Structure 1
Amino acid sequence: MRTDINSTLRTQLRTSAATTARTGEPDREVVAELRASGLLGIGVPVEYGGTGGTAADVNRVVEEIASVNASLAIIAFQHFAVCARITEWGTPEQRARLLPALADGTWLAASAWSEPGAGAAKRHLSSTGVRRHDGSWQLDGAKSFTTGAGLADLYLVLVRTGPAPTDSGGYGATGQTFFLVTADNPGIRPRLGLDLIGMRGSATGLVGLERCAVPDADRLGATDGAQQVIAQVRESGATLGAVSVGIAQAALDIAVCHANRHDLLTVPMFRHRLTELATHLESARALVDRAGARTAPNPGLTTLYSKLYASSAAEEICLDVARLLGSAGYQAGEGLTRLLADARGVALMGPTNDLCRELAAASWEH
């Protein structure tokens, strides 16, 4: 299994990023190349066909992909996240059945948690799972902002299976359950149609659930136990901050390329400003690395901080590069415009930055 992007795939990812930013459609050919690259098995245990990489390895791969194509990095990140949930919470049968296909790219995974009206914390779900007389489940409802909709072969779906929640804090709520639903299930209907500002090639769309029959063997974790699974997600150390670091690196690369082309590295002001931007970037990367290493006293809190800081840093770096290039950036600013839109998009992905702040602030109460 590969743990880095070869030059051919890097070129394809970069070309695809520019194209999908204009069309708003995912590039299925480059997704196929990503599947075949061997990268998608980085976080899967060796015994199931993966490379057994750590959260730090996952973050590095995500950052590298994001430095050329943030939309594909988000798709890969969601795949890694589902693989991690199956590894941590799946039954031995689920791991043996699902992880090998996810490791070699035969299957691509996506998360379907969000839905209209549920809020960023996913506490007020309308989609439901009802146990049937034979022990299986029927899922009904609609999920929104699902990255990889229509591309994924496996969806990790969050629905309400118990009474309406009585608690008001945290991420997720009581009475919720996760299910693993394959794309060939006739009751699941993914579709695109969301006209996004950033991450336009991420196939972020809607997933409908209509009389979607799922065997109990495809329930992930305990019935009504999704909140416990969600609480452990940030403890893994894998962070969307890695996407932001990749975006920021791409913006800085544009500035350095411009400086070399116009002999601006001889100008102290320009040279010093690039150094300041690089320092800001390295600070964000260091926090992402710290989250991935899971060496902090509170790894989950560090993961929240890494997303907050890195996403803000990426947006600021993109803006500063645009200012630094001046009219040149305005004339040839398609790449910067895309990077800035993608940087802003990370802040809105779950857990959103506002929710990250709330979850982090709650730690001060104990």
Structure 2
Amino acid sequence: MLGVVGDTGMNSELSAEAEEVLQVSAERTAVTGRPDPEALAVLRSSGLLATAVPARHGGRGGGAVEVNRAVLRLAEANPSLAIIAFQHFAVCARIAEWGTQRQRRSLLPRLADGSWLAASAWSEPGAGAAKRNLTSTAVRRSDGMWVLDGAKSFTTGASVADLYLVLVGTGEPQAGDTALYGSSGQSFFLVRGTNPGLAPDLSLDLVGMRGSATGFVSLRQCLVTDDDRLGPPGRAPEIIAGVRDSGATLGAVAAGIARAALAMAREHRARWGPAATPSGAHRIADLATRVESIEAIVERAGARSSAQPGLTTLHSKVYASEAAEQVCVDVARMLGSSGYMAAARVNRLLADARAVALMGPANELCRDLVAAAWA
């Protein structure tokens, strides 16, 4: 099995064989722009997907620290796969926290053993970064079934996920609704990938994260039961806020990208020697310091050691993604002409780092949420 080192524990280290497969996969998907079956098979068999599932449901019982470390390690080898894993972990944690006993018993073991991958389908055209203006809806019929209709965009894991956490409108917002992310008239549903009313579409041609299966998801007369609803009706903002407070952060993806770029700089220095880049040692020292700071804020977010852990998670996402992007820019310059080649890995890493800043909550929304909290 191409798994992790020490599969039975909480070690997030990939085996050398698995790491090589994921790196080759990243090169391949950069060209094809499609998810890679071999990389997905490694992820499913690695044991890492159990990280955020409670032990009583077949998981590892890891918290945000373990999630962030696993995501960082995956991102160092293959950022696209790390994004897929991050979304999987987020859905697992929401089911563990908000799911019914039936949902936990039936879904979490399959999400833990790799039989199922989970994805989030929240964004949609025209909804805005804060997801307050959704047009997708869920209407309850007289027989208790719900009918979902609408279209979701930028869904990571579209077409490869077995379970989607879908955000839809189920009613009018309450008077005085002050939610900054989501609306009181919104609810979540867990929709199987095999549901005939759900149709993924991978026609998006992204600059970065090209192997992340990020695309559209259409909901057309998508029938689900009330047992598929996650949490009470209209409580979506509360569930969304819990994602931030958990300490799991997309900054971990950026940290892995920055670590990979730093390794490229060190390899370049070792190959060409100090004569080629006389100031290279100091430049690498500065890069290493920046990478250390990225990893430190990601670790702090996961530890939830600050007075306001939700704000630390937002800070970590903004800082890590933007600092990682700058690390990649500096490494590309350090590589000289070799860093200017279209196929150079550093350029793929740079595009991936840019993508992290745009992923939900996008950095500008993170700033809005932080500013509102301090105000």
Same fold at TM > 0.5: yes
- Out of 10, 34, 42, the residue aligned to residue 43 of structure 2 is 34
1:1-366, aligned counterparts within 5 Å?
1=7, 3-164=12-173, 167=177, 169-264=179-274, 269-331=279-341, 334-365=344-375
Contact 2:117–2:163 (Cα < 8 Å) also in 1:
yes
Q: Deviations over 1:85-105 (max 9, x none)?
A: 001100111101100000000
Q: Superposition RMSD on alpha carbons, in Å?
A: 1.4
Distance in 2, matches of 1:124 and 1:159, equals 10
Q: Deviations over 1:86-134 (max 9, x none)?
A: 0110011110110000000000000000000000000000000001111
The runs of 5 or more residues in structure 2 that have no matched partner are 1-6
Q: Deviations over 1:173-193 (max 9, x none)?
A: 110000000011111111211
Q: Deviations over 1:29-79 (max 9, x none)?
A: 210121011110011110000111111011001000000100000000000
Residue 135 of structure 1: CA displacement? 1.3
- The aligned amino acid for 2:54 is P
Residue 264 of structure 1: CA displacement? 2.4
Distance in 2, matches of 1:168 and 1:146, equals 26
Quote the sequence identity (%).
61
Q: Secondary structure at the match of 1:262?
A: helix
The runs of 5 or more residues in structure 1 that have no matched partner are none
Contact 2:339–2:347 (Cα < 8 Å) also in 1:
no
- The aligned amino acid for 2:164 is Y
Q: Secondary structure at the match of 2:65?
A: helix
- The aligned amino acid for 2:92 is C
Contact 1:123–1:165 (Cα < 8 Å) also in 2:
no
Q: In structure 2, do the counterparts of structure 1 residues 276 and 333 end up closer, same or farther at CA, with 3 Å as the change threshold?
A: farther
Contact 2:338–2:344 (Cα < 8 Å) also in 1:
no
TM score, norm. by length of structure 2 = 0.95
Distance in 2, matches of 1:265 and 1:32, equals 44
Q: Deviations over 1:260-317 (max 9, x none)?
A: 0111289652101100010011011100000000111000000000000000110000
Distance in 2, matches of 1:168 and 1:187, equals 33
The equivalent residue for 2:4 is none
- The aligned amino acid for 2:340 is Y
- The aligned amino acid for 1:111 is S
Residue 4 of structure 1: CA displacement? 2.4
Distance in 2, matches of 1:234 and 1:171, equals 11
Q: In structure 2, do the counterparts of structure 1 residues 161 and 265 end up closer, same or farther at CA, with 3 Å as the change threshold?
A: farther
Contact 1:259–1:265 (Cα < 8 Å) also in 2:
no
Q: Secondary structure at the match of 1:43?
A: coil
Matched length: 365
Q: Secondary structure at the match of 1:261?
A: helix
Residue 330 of structure 1: CA displacement? 2.1
Distance in 2, matches of 1:102 and 1:326, equals 44
Q: Secondary structure at the match of 2:109?
A: helix
TM score, norm. by length of structure 1 = 0.97
Residue 328 of structure 1: CA displacement? 3.0
Residue 337 of structure 1: CA displacement? 0.9
